[in-house]
Amino acid sequence: MSLSLFNLSGKRALITGSSQGIGLALAQGLAAAGASIVLNGRDAVKLDEAADLLRLDGLDVSTLPFDVTDHAAARAAVDGFEAESGAIDILINNAGMQHRAPLEDFPAEAFQRLMQTNIASVFNVAQPVARHMIARGAGKIVNIASVQSALARPGIAPYTATKGAVANLTKGMATDWAKYGLNCNAIAPGYFDTPLNAALVADAEFSAWLAKRTPAGRWGQLPELVGAAIFLSSAASSFVNGTTLYVDGGITASL
């Protein structure tokens, strides 16, 4: 009985920004738990390569390329998929980007790109998906936040702003949509070895600082995010709503 709570068989999950990094790792993890996976990104070629990689393991995968920063495109893609292929039971809003610069020199255009990619996209995709979920009286929405939802570091103030907004938008989604049977939560990864963090992983001084700063003493590895994603996507989290689950090796718990 207890293990069946985590079974995602018969469920379909749309994961944005899933051609690499955290999104691809979560796609692999949810598929292994039984879900059918819909990969999303702007680059159809990269999506097809990622889908082929998952299919080598016998996983059920399809692709849905669209630009998450374009509200009309996201709505058209979601509505079209629902009409042609069936229900999206789980949405993981993972698409994101980073830009590092001192705040006093931060390019305005980079600020706008961060806002569109990291926070507007969460609204753009969640709204049309939620409309279908509301009609069915059930659905799981998982937004990817960050330790920067709670903490800041020099050079990434706009990124920090977007991830704080993701955590608060998650609370708003739960407040509006829980009454319709939706569970809306967020995962806040700590410092993980991903393409987005490649420059930091390669920086020996930063990695040494991180090991001292993090109680677990190391970078996180992508498979370590999968359990949280399965929990928040499954029946095991049926009364969990509006929360942000930190998967960070203890960095937000310690000074």
Active site residue 159: yes
Number of H helices, E strands in the chain: 9, 7
What's the rounded Cα separation, in Å, for the pair 14 and 155? 32
Q: Which residue in the list 159, 180, 191, 246 is annotated as catalytic? A: 159
* Sequence-ordered alpha helix ranges (H) in the chain: 21-32, 44-55, 71-85, 108-115, 121-136, 157-177, 198-201, 204-213, 226-233
Q: ∠39-43-47 over CA atoms, to 5°?
A: 35
Strand ordering across the sheet containing 36-39: 61-63, 36-39, 12-15, 90-93, 139-144, 182-189, 244-247
CB 25 within 8 A of CB 223: yes
Contact 142, 92 (CB under 8 A): yes
Alpha carbons within 13 A on the beta-carbon side of 106: 19
The residues that are catalytic are 159
